């Protein structure tokens, strides 16, 4: 088990390395702001195409959620479960 952990520690993760290489390693951490100040700030304005894409995505997600609202177990299976286990 120790050998497996040691080998896993030597693994390379190219996606993580690429993400770290893009940023400035000496950059400062972002400034922490009070929540009230974040709420009072100006929101970025979306272009009309971004707005349309977001509305379409929201509608798609609502439709998907509505499709998941139905019963998980169909009526026939529920009736059989309510009757209990019986031998054939």
Q: Render pLDDT for 26-38 as a digit per residue (tens, 0 to 9).
A: 777 777 878 887 7
CB within 8 Å of 81: residues ≥ 6 apart = 73
DSSP assigned state of 68:
T
Dihedral sign of CA atoms 38, 42, 47, 51 in order:
positive
Task: Flag whether pLDDT at 5 surpasses 80.
Answer: no
Task: Flag whether pLDDT at 21 surpasses 70.
Answer: no
Please tell me whether the overall predicted TM-score, pTM, comes out greater than 0.85 for this model.
Answer: no
- Contact between 73 and 81 (Cβ < 8 Å): yes
* Rounded alpha-carbon distances, angstroms, from residue 23 to 12, 13, 15, 62: 19, 16, 13, 36
pLDDT of residue 42: 65
């Amino acid at each position: 088990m120790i050998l497996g952990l040691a080998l896993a520690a030597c693994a390379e993760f190219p996606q993580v390395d690429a993400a770290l290489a893009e940023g400035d390693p000496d950059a400062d951490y972002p400034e922490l702001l009070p929540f009230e100040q974040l709420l009072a700030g100006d929101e970025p304005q979306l272009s009309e195409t971004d707005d349309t894409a977001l509305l379409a995505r929201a509608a798609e997600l609502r439709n998907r959620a509505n499709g998941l609202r139905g019963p998980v177990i169909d009526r026939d299976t529920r009736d059989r479960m309510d009757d209990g286990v019986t031998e054939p």
